[in-house]
Amino acid sequence: MIKNTVIALVTAATLVGAAAPAFAESDGGIGLSDFNEEDNSSSYDTAAQNILSRLRDQGVNATSVEQWGGLVRAFVVQEDGRQVMQFFAPGSLQQVAL
């Protein structure tokens, strides 16, 4: 019983580690890897704020950002006041069309 539990835990940990995407960017920018540096909300919030600031510096009127698969999902207020989702490549923060 204990052996099966240990094997199941090791397998689960391996799968989670293998499934966790690595989004480090060579340009030294803030990317999705910063969302995953630690498992606490303060580092996630800091990474989100950094990405949000970079998007705003690029002229994107984003109100919040989050990790979405292999992309950054931003909630953006358009000129007419509507809020839409836009997706950006990690690191470069270039908009991606889906």
Span 51-87, pLDDT tens digits: 999 999 999 999 999 999 999 999 999 999 999 999 9
Residue 9 in domain: no
The reply to whether 76 falls in a domain is yes
Compute the chain's Rg from CA coordinates. 17
Confidence of residue 49 (pLDDT cuts 50, 70, 90): very high
Residue 11: per-residue pLDDT = 46
What percent of the chain is predicted at pLDDT more than 70? 58
**CA separation (Å) from 13 to 6, 8, 16, 18, 34?**
11, 9, 5, 9, 21
Do the beta carbons of residue 60 and residue 79 sit within 8 Å? no
Instruction: Establish if 16 belongs to a structural domain.
Output: no
Within-domain flag for 17: no
Which of 1-5, 17-21, 31-35 is the most confident on average?
31-35
Is 62 inside a domain boundary?
yes
Lookup result for tokens 């950094």: 50
CB 68 within 8 A of CB 32: no
Would residue 77 count as lying in a domain? yes
Q: Is residue 85 part of a domain?
A: yes
The answer to whether residue 10 sits within a structural domain is no
In this prediction, what percent of the chain has a pLDDT beyond 90?
48
What is the per-residue pLDDT for 88?
A: 96
More confident residue, 77 or 3: 77
**Domain span holding position 75:** 23-96
Number of folded domains in the chain? 1
Residue 35's pLDDT is what? 57
